[in-house]
Amino acid sequence: MNASFHLPVSAGFSMNCHGKLFDLSEPKVMGILNLTPDSFSDGGRFMNVKDALQHAERMIEEGADIIDIGAQSTRPGAKKLSAADEIERLGNIIAEIKAHFPQVLVSLDTFYADVVKLGFDQGLDLINDISGGMFDDKMIETAAETRLPYILMHVNPTYQTMHVADIDADIILTINQYFSEKVQQLRAAGVKDIILDPGFGFGKTVQQQFQMTEELGFIGFGALPMLVGISRKSFIYKSMGKSPLEISKETQALHMKMLLQNAKILRVHDVAETRQTISRFLKN
């Protein structure tokens, strides 16, 4: 690997989440809560507050450490929503979850600065931005102002191209170059805690994504904690001729492979199965 891609070392992999110390010495489970009608595998199921709270409670009981809330589908072909649309969908769900389940951390999956501000006012703990600050020029400065941990995902530079798989160079080198530049930008803006997400499902070929599962340990050089989101991703189920709901066994096998390469957060739909995988990993 090219030494010019060196990233600063994070001491101890602990995060300051809205005043709470979040210890990543052991892997954590991030449960997905989609407030969307059109997400690819669970769209429309948790659109109202009652259903959303019930699903959050179920995931917490199954072992979720973080609930990741998203009000906009980013699947291929999804309609792009405005920040105002996301804010309307979110309502006060973050505050409701924090009130009912204060022990759990809440992450907000958005690429809009104004949505982050809403979340922060309701007690948000982490920012999960798929865009690396590229879809809203106010996002990085807003993230810095909140002092919340920032999940930095590798993605193509525009919303229109985020699913275009046209990377010809080695995918690991490409991701590391991106992270090197983006981490420097975030640090300069004042973002203290950064989590890396290599961006499975976004602008990579099936072959490149399987390469990422084999070489995850080379991404970011272990300098910052890694989040992996492969749950129900098409590179798994399409390559096997299955549906998104038929690949639990295969997904957990890949999760174990990711844990062995020092993944610290697994972003998933199936919390109980993933918690069992982490338990097996910790016993070995």
pLDDT digits (tens, 9 = 90+) for 86-105: 999 999 999 999 999 999 99
Task: Report the share of the chain in percent with pLDDT over 70.
Answer: 92
- Measured N-to-C along each axis, helices 139-146 and 171-189 cross at an angle, to the nearest 10 degrees, of 60
Cβ atoms 125, 67 nearer than 8 A = no
Tokens, residue 169: 């160079």
Q: Which residues are catalytic?
A: 233, 267
Domains of the chain, earliest start first:
24-283 (3.20.20.20)
Query: Does the pLDDT at position 276 exceed 90?
Result: yes
222 compared with 99, residue with greater pLDDT: 99
For 279, residues 6+ apart whose C-beta sits below 8 A from its C-beta are none
Instruction: Please return the burial class of 219, using the count of CB atoms within 10 Å of its CB with bins 0-12, 13-18 and 19+.
Output: buried
Give pLDDT, residue 49: 86
pLDDT digits (tens, 9 = 90+) for 110-123: 999 999 999 999 99
pLDDT digits (tens, 9 = 90+) for 244-261: 999 999 999 999 999 999
Give pLDDT, residue 44: 46
Distance CA 248, CA 271 (A): 11
Mean pLDDT, to the nearest integer, of 233-250?
92
* Confidence label for 2 from pLDDT (cuts 50, 70 and 90): very low
Q: Are strands 14-17 and 20-23 parallel, antiparallel or unpaired?
A: antiparallel
Query: Does the pLDDT at position 201 exceed 50?
Result: yes
Q: Which helix (H) or strand (E) holds 180?
A: helix 171-189
Mean pLDDT, to the nearest integer, of 58-62?
97
Give pLDDT, residue 11: 43
- Phi, psi at 53, each rounded to 5°: -65, -40
pLDDT digits (tens, 9 = 90+) for 154-170: 999 999 999 999 999 99
Task: Report the share of the chain in percent with pLDDT over 90.
Answer: 82
Distance CA 38, CA 186 (A): 31
Query: Does the pLDDT at position 274 exceed 70?
Result: yes
